[in-house]
Amino acid sequence: MYADDTSIIIVDTDSNLEATAFHTLEQLHEWFTSNGLFLNARKTNFLIFHPKQKTIEPQYNLSINNTDLQHPESVKFLGLDIDESLSWAEACTNIASKLNRSCYLFRSLRDLLDFDTLKIVYFSEIESRLRYGILLWGTSGSAGKVLVAQKRIIRTMAKVPYNEPCKPIYKRFKVLTVVNLYILEATCYIHGVKNNFPQNAHGHDTLMARHTLRLTDTRNASILLPRHTLHLTSMSPNIMGVKLYNRLPDRLKSLSARAFKRTIRSVLEDNPLYNISDFFQLSI
């Protein structure tokens, strides 16, 4: 039997990382062998996650059973392209490419189907693809490529010129922009796990609140976060998601999961956004 889609995360200092990785791989190989599983070293890759500005030296050489492992710049895991700096640039490029190829489909169907049926095709073919993994790549600097491709499809469905403003179309069609989809997924995620975070029950303007919730009105903040310094960390779902969630009025935070999602989606359908920062200016 083969062990497919197995992943191991190894954390250590730069000086000890390679030795720790070797030891872990030896244990992994022994465990697979003793349990009747085969680990194909030729199809096994490794990445070294690091800030984009940091250069990894020296180069790491890892092997399993005397077979060297590949060290690519990115790997595809569960349908998403992951790179070492977690920029999600390649993932966004590939998603945008798939959307651009789907544009021909909508150009062909728009004269054959009524609009309601065409929207069903959009939700099944496009929105489902956009929602997959958007909590990871939705704050990437390359996510704009995906938004441009989505606009192209929206204009095609609406039969308007390539330079026609899209926000009125999004609003009329009740379709969420890529940015709005991220906000929806992020706030719903935090709504479901909010009890795992420290609470700021009285909305006090604490030092921690001022440090971690810079994009929100800290007087109304309901969730606090540990301190973070890296820009990459600030874009993670646990950080950006809380910033977005704290922007919401308390009356929404007490809703059930289903009612919460329905209400937030309705708000976002009426307010098409192209930048996450615009959400903090909305009157909700």
pLDDT digits (tens, 9 = 90+) for 146-184: 999 999 999 999 999 989 999 999 999 999 999 999 999
The lowest-confidence range among 27-41, 86-100, 192-206, 248-262 is 192-206
| pLDDT at residue 3 in the model | 57
Say which residue the tokens 């989809």 belong to.
181
Sketch the domain layout of the chain as residue ranges: 14-72, 89-175, 182-281
The lowest-confidence range among 6-15, 148-157, 173-182, 243-252 is 6-15
Say which residue the tokens 């001022």 belong to.
210
Q: Which of 178, 177, 170 is nearest to 134 (CA)?
A: 178
Please name every residue paired with 81 in a beta bridge, in sequence order, or none if there are none: 76
* Widest Cα–Cα separation across the chain: 63
User: For residue 43, what is the DSSP state?
Assistant: G
Residue 13 has pLDDT above 90, yes or no: no
**Band of residue 218 on the pLDDT scale cut at 50, 70, 90:** very low
Q: Please give the residue that has the higher pLDDT: either 227 or 268.
A: 268
| pLDDT at residue 208 in the model | 44
Query: Other C-beta atoms within 10 Å of 171: how many?
Result: 13
User: From CA 130, how far away is CA 232, in angstroms rounded?
Assistant: 21
For every residue of 185-246, DSSP letters joined together read HHHHHHHHHGGGSPB-TT----HHHHHH-TTS-GGG--B-------HHHHTSHHHHHHHHHH
**Band of residue 206 on the pLDDT scale cut at 50, 70, 90:** very low
Under a CB-based contact definition with an 8 Å cutoff, are residues 192 and 258 in contact? no
Residue 64 φ/ψ region, left for φ over 0, alpha for ψ in the -120 to 50 degree band, beta for the rest:
beta
Q: Which of 109, 115, 237, 122 is nearest to 184 (CA)?
A: 237
Say which residue the tokens 């693809």 belong to.
129
The reported pTM is 0.84
Strands 67-68 and 74-77: unpaired
Distances (CA, A) of 107 to 115, 122, 170, 178: 13, 12, 17, 21
Computed over every residue of the chain, the mean pLDDT equals: 86
User: From CA 153, how far away is CA 110, in angstroms rounded?
Assistant: 11
The lowest-confidence range among 11-25, 103-117, 165-179 is 11-25
User: From CA 49, how far away is CA 59, in angstroms rounded?
Assistant: 13
Helix/strand/coil for 144: helix
Under a CB-based contact definition with an 8 Å cutoff, are residues 242 and 173 in contact? no
